[in-house]
Each structure stands twice: as C-alpha cells, then as structure tokens.
Amino acid sequence: MTVRVGIINVTGFAGMEAARLLWNHPEAELVAATGRSLAGQQLGEAFPHLAAYADFPITSELEAEVDVVFSALPTGASAEACAPLVEQGVRVIDIAADFRLREPAAFAQWFGKDHPAPALLDRAVYGLAELHAGEIANADLVANPGCYPATTILALAPAVAAGLIEPRVFVDAKSGISGAGRGTGGGFSYSDVNEDVSAYRIANHNHQPEMAQELSRLREGPEVAVTFVPHLVPMTRGIHSTCYAPLAEDVSQSEVLALYRDFYADAPFTSVTDAPPHTKHTYGSNDCLVHPTVDERNGALVAVGVLDNLMKGAAGSAIENMNLMFGLPQAAGLDRPALYP
C-alpha cells in the first residue's frame, strides 16, 4: 500500500523539496499539490528541475484523497488550513511554526497574532525523530521542527539530557539564503548577499522560544536560557549552529564524545564526527552531523551541529516523520549520500 501524500503550498522551497523527495520514495506518492499563485500550471513546468512531474497540475485546493498532508504555508495560515484536515482524520505534518510552541500565549507573543487553532496544540507532537520517535509514530499532527532549532537541539541534546552543562546557552547559527524562502525581495538578491555575512533579529528571532522549550524538556530543573543569533552567509543550503555553554562538571573530550556517540547510537541520520563537520557534507542529504568540543581552558562546551536546512531542516525531516507515522522504514526515500563537491 502506497501512502498518498498531499502538499499544501508546493511552490515554496520546502514544498518543492518534498515533491522532489517523493518522486523517489518507494512507498509514498505525491497525489495532490496546491499553490495559489501557480495554480493551473503543471508542477514540472513551473519548476524545471521537477520536469519529471510533467503532467501533475498545481491546484488551488487539494483535489485527491490523501492519507497525509505536508503543509508548507506561512505561519498562521498553516494552522487554519490544517485544522479541518485533522478533524477529517487526515494526518498532518506542519512544516510551518504553528504547532511548535505549546502555549498559545507564546505563539501570540512571538508571532503577533492569536493562535488559529489552540485546541489542537495538545495533540501536536514535536517532530524530531531522534528524541520523540515513539510519539511521532502515534501522532496525527506533527509539528516539524524549525531549521535552526533542529540543528541546535541535535547539537545540544546529549549534553543537556546528561546535565553536562549549565542551563545557559549561547547559540550562534549561520544559514544559507534558501532559509529566507523563495521569491523573496531585493534584500536577498545575489548582488547584495554575495560576499556578505550579517546577523539579523539579534536575540529576537522566533526560533528562540522553540529551542528553549524543547531543550528544557530534556532535563529537570530551571528552563534553559537561550541567547540566539542567526546569521546569513553566502550559500544556498546549509545551517551551521555553534552552541556555547558553561560546563556543569569536569569532563574530558573523550568522555563527551562517548556520551554523544551513545546518545545517537540508534539514530539513522544524526552522527557524531571526530573533526568539526562541514555543512557541505550534508548537501542534499538528510544527515545531521554533530561535534562537541570541551574548552578545558575555560570550562565550557562548544557543540556544533550542521545540516541541510531544506532536508533535515524541513522536507527531509517531514518525510522521516511520515515514515514513522505510517510504519515505514525510517530512512525510506532518504537513504542518499550528500552531493559533493
């Protein structure tokens, strides 16, 4: 039995990446895809790299029966579109931010509007398979993690869960430009962005509460305080998150490596590297590479995580969650080496 998948808003980068992955999925198939601005065009005509979908229309509403929907709408609009689907018994994986924060008040504070479907928040499962595979398997509504939080949480989770660090982290993340989305305005033009690094929304980005909430769930005691600064760097794909925290106890480099390796021993996509990892080693793959370093001089931990923001940071992770929800092998359709160079 093939899982029938619908994508809401296939015309954004995450949506089109999900379509790309589904083309080669052995047990799932794209059967419907919406996208208001391009409705009426064929998917393979609108996006030449998806030429394989030559006879697959983009529609304004989902026009086939589906088992699961990926929503890649903007935050706010996504919950509105997902709510009736959940009620109808369609499983939903929300790639937007609508179901990540558990408190409606937090949503209102960070996104500047009331949550459109607060009643669903309790049913939503945070879709990071390394931490919540069991819950995801039983979920009907999954909140796909944000790209920055996915990278950061995977870099820090073993240390937080083991109580290795103080609950005070500084997160410095560098993202490729595709994180800003498709069809974005002049600020992301090649001429402006090439040969440029800049920080934005310093200590004020809406992925910060998601990191704080999810890291805090991993340990007893006070909330984990997170200072988060995202940066744009001149590349298309990739996130590099460098996380700093005071050590809570004396620990050696080899002990930390062992603890991290143990934590991810069964994870098919997250692995611990001996040397600092490169974002390019995950280009187009669903891998997350993690590397902790003990700064003995200063009693601190530096934990690095890297991934492809459109794969493990968005569409790849959504496929992984779908696999878990439908009892398929976790790596189905995702077992691909990265593209290098």
In angstroms, rounded to a whole number, what is the distance separating the alpha carbons of residues 341 and 339?
6
Q: Which two tokens stand for residue 83?
A: 């709510």
101: nearest Cα among 243, 217, 18? 217
Q: Which two tokens stand for residue 255?
A: 């002990």
Give residue 265's identity as a one-letter amino acid code: A
Contact status: 304 vs a copy of itself (CB under 8 A): yes
- Closest approach of a copy of itself to the CB of residue 277, in Å: 7
Write the binding mask 77 to 116 for a copy of itself: x where contact by CB under 8 A, - elsewhere: ----------------------------------------
Among 9, 11, 18, 47, binds a copy of itself (CB under 8 A): 47
β-pairing verdict for 124-126 and 141-143: parallel
Among 83, 108, 133, 233, binds a copy of itself (CB under 8 A): 233
Contact status: 331 vs a copy of itself (CB under 8 A): no
Residues with catalytic roles: 147
Contact status: 339 vs a copy of itself (CB under 8 A): yes
- Closest approach of a copy of itself to the CB of residue 69, in Å: 21
Q: Of 138 and 191, which has the nearer Cβ to a copy of itself?
A: 191
- Closest approach of a copy of itself to the CB of residue 174, in Å: 5
Inter-residue contact 99 to 121 (CB < 8 Å): yes
Quote the DSSP letter at residue 2.
P
Among 57, 170, 216, 257, binds a copy of itself (CB under 8 A): 170
CA-angle at 254, arms to 225 and 145, nearest 5°: 40
Three-state secondary-structure class, residue 322: helix
Q: Of 119 and 253, which has the nearer Cβ to a copy of itself?
A: 253
Contact status: 200 vs a copy of itself (CB under 8 A): yes
- Closest approach of a copy of itself to the CB of residue 88, in Å: 30
Any alpha helices (H) in 24-103, and if so which ranges? Answer: 43-46, 77-87
Write the binding mask 119 to 158 for a copy of itself: x where contact by CB under 8 A, - elsewhere: ----------------------------------------
The phi and psi torsions of 196 (rounded to 5 degrees) equal -140, 140
Among 4, 102, 217, 336, binds a copy of itself (CB under 8 A): 336
Contact status: 23 vs a copy of itself (CB under 8 A): yes
Q: Which two tokens stand for residue 269?
A: 């996509």
In angstroms, rounded to a whole number, what is the distance separating the alpha carbons of residues 193 and 59?
33
For 292, the enclosing helix (H) or strand (E) is strand 288-295
Residue span binding a copy of itself (CB under 8 A) among the ranges 62-70, 111-119, 135-143, 283-291 = 283-291
